[in-house]
Amino acid sequence: MNVYEIHRYQNENFQYVVARTNKNSEEQVRKDVEKMNAMLSNEMKAQGIKYVFATGSMSDMIKQRGKKSKKEEQLSIL
């Protein structure tokens, strides 16, 4: 099963996942990305902010959650 995501980038640097879904179609998520990019202010565009469509699988999402939990554990130990 595919998972569709919207990622936020500043220039070529990934910042974070804005949204993730497996309930909406790929077409709908792509349209959402287009709308979000169209709504960016000129200032944000000048800073290199953009939204990008990404796709993955459920297993990728589960792996990512596992990594996040491990990172959080490491931070709490420090």
What is the CA 55 to chain-centroid distance, rounded? Answer: 9
Which helix (H) or strand (E) segment is 51 a member of? Answer: strand 49-57
pTM above 0.85, yes or no: no
Query: Span 64-75, mean pLDDT?
Result: 51
Q: How far apart are CA 77 and CA 56, in angstroms?
A: 31
Question: 10-35 as b/e, with b when 16 or more CB fall inside 10 Å?
Answer: eeeeeeeeeeeeeeeeeeebeebbee
Q: How many domains does the chain have?
A: 1
Residue 66: per-residue pLDDT: 61
Q: What is the pLDDT of residues 11-66, one digit of tens each?
A: 999 999 999 999 999 999 999 999 999 999 999 999 999 999 999 776 666 666 56
Which helix (H) or strand (E) segment is 18 a member of? Answer: strand 13-21
Q: Which domain holds residue 53?
A: 2-77
